[in-house]
Structure 1
Amino acid sequence: MAMIHERMNRGRTQMGWLDSFHTFSFGGFMDPTRMGFRNLRVINEDRVVPGAGFSAHRHEHMDILTYVLSGALSHQDSLGNSATIQAGEFQLMSAGNGVTHSEHNASQTEPVHFLQIWLIPERQIDHPTYDSILISNQDVDNRFGLVAGPDTTTNGLSLLSNTRVYLARLRDGQVLSHEFDPAHAGFLHVVSGHIDINGEGLATGDALEFEHRDGCTITAHSEAELLLFDLS
């Protein structure tokens, strides 16, 4: 079973300072066929104008993974964390029983472009946690490099679910495969570029969800950047 999430069918929020595309139902965008996939609940692609951003707001019992694609994003939270997340960097905030944070474009002259991903935990923690990781090209060049995984992993950021998040960057013509536990499911989001996956053509902003397969094979038809979710 496989389903394409076409980029043109994503929800969209435009607020002057914010232009946001929603792969799954979020905010004012509601589609009962797009309520998430397994424990993957949100993928928002956000662009924020210089100097603007999200004022302080609260989250509970959610793993929130942010990936900055270009520009820089400033983060502050009620844990006392204050950081500027640069392009190529992932931030993970596990909200626990509750955390308040704000996010703003760190630049007064350039926009910031980022993905924000919500993953539903499989176990709960009381105290929120915060971490970040910078992904180098050598870690993801024509391979799926681990970004985040179960808290038993020794690499990447620690999630509160049996989920693994991978990033890959491919050159035109490269072929890449990934094997799955048969009980797991996959969700591939095309950050940029044009690819084929298991015979399906996808482009920037498209995604493919699939179950009951033991793997996937991807062929790049341009330079491409991909996020792969291996979901239990």
Structure 2
Amino acid sequence: MKTTLHKANTRGHADRGWLNSYHTFSFANYHDPERMGFGVLRVLNDDEVSGGMGFSKHGHSNMEIISIPLEGDLEHKDSMGNATIIKQGDIQAMSAGTGVQHSEKNKNRDRPVKFLQIWVIPNKVNVEPKYDQITLDSIMLKNNFQQIVSPNSDDEGVWIHQKAWFHLGEFEAGHEIEYSLKDRSNGVYIFILEGKTKINDQPLARRDGLGVQEAETLNFSVSENGTKILLMEVPMAN
């Protein structure tokens, strides 16, 4: 098993006043040649947007973009005609394909919105852009890894153009759980949203990240109530 540890305090940071963002991988003005992504997982941004502010209309192409709200309400509009509000418990995926324009704004003026913005390099280019959104059942997250992203429109979660599976779970202290990879050639990037856990005896805390390659299973031992874990299983080469 091969691992790559990214402690929370080693992430890139951008403070634009209205936007406070931490970058696990190189993004915008933050560049580290050793942190250009993990396999096809290219961007993992931990964003906080001030009340009433946001990203004006801008374009993307040939990228799978997943948004996971953590707090507050995020208003999304795009050139495909979608106009939605996503909030904690929702998962959003947008396949940019041949090109899409979109904007993201904090719906509320009196409190921030916090969300993860994740980019995955697709295995198909120049596809027709598409949008997908689901609302999770919080009960299914309790001491369980619920699938939230998959490569198949018939499978659980939002679907993207890549052989990738994401899982999310919230755990009690003392809980132990095993994750088995869907594809043994894939790697898994683990991001701790809240709390503390050990993964195969490697301790991780809030906002730490760990990339794991050449493993078939991962064993988690949770040490703090309310520990929230995001698993991103992705191909290591496209």
Tell me the TM-score normalized by structure 2. Answer: 0.95
- Give the deviation of 1:125 after TM superposition: 4.3
5 Å-filtered alignment, 1:50-129, equals: 50-129=51-130
Secondary structure of the 2:37 match is coil
- Which residue is 1:147 aligned to? 148
Secondary structure of the 2:140 match is helix
- Give the deviation of 1:138 after TM superposition: 1.8
- Which residue is 1:22 aligned to? 23
- Which residue is 2:228 aligned to? 225
Instruction: Write the distance in 2 (CA, Å) between the matches of 1:149 and 1:111.
Output: 29
Per-residue Cα deviation, 1:106-137 (whole angstroms, up to 9, x for no partner): 10111101000001101124321011111122
Q: Kindly, what percent of the aligned residue pairs are identical?
A: 35
Instruction: Write the distance in 2 (CA, Å) between the matches of 1:173 and 1:217.
Output: 13
Instruction: Write the distance in 1 (CA, Å) between the matches of 2:138 and 2:81.
Output: 31
Per-residue Cα deviation, 1:120-166 (whole angstroms, up to 9, x for no partner): 10112432101111112222211111101112542211110110011
- The question of whether the paired residues in 1 share the 8 Å contact of 2:89 and 2:138 is answered with no
5 Å-filtered alignment, 1:183-198, equals: 183-198=185-200
- Higher mean C-alpha deviation, range 102-111 or range 171-180: 171-180
| Aligned-residue CA RMSD (Å) | 1.0
Instruction: Write the distance in 2 (CA, Å) between the matches of 1:229 and 1:115.
Output: 13
Instruction: Write the distance in 2 (CA, Å) between the matches of 1:112 and 1:219.
Output: 30
One-letter amino acid of the counterpart of residue 80, structure 1: G
Per-residue Cα deviation, 1:26-71 (whole angstroms, up to 9, x for no partner): 0000000100011100000000110000011100000100000010
List runs of 5+ in structure 1 lacking aligned partners: none
One-letter amino acid of the counterpart of residue 112, structure 1: V
- The question of whether the paired residues in 1 share the 8 Å contact of 2:191 and 2:230 is answered with yes
- Give the deviation of 1:94 after TM superposition: 0.4
One-letter amino acid of the counterpart of residue 111, structure 2: E
Tell me the TM-score normalized by structure 1. Answer: 0.97
One-letter amino acid of the counterpart of residue 89, structure 1: D
Instruction: Write the distance in 2 (CA, Å) between the matches of 1:142 and 1:106.
Output: 31
List runs of 5+ in structure 2 lacking aligned partners: none
Relative distance call for 1:153 and 1:164 in structure 2 (3 A) is farther
Task: Report runs of 4+ in structure 1 exceeding 3 Å deviation.
Answer: none
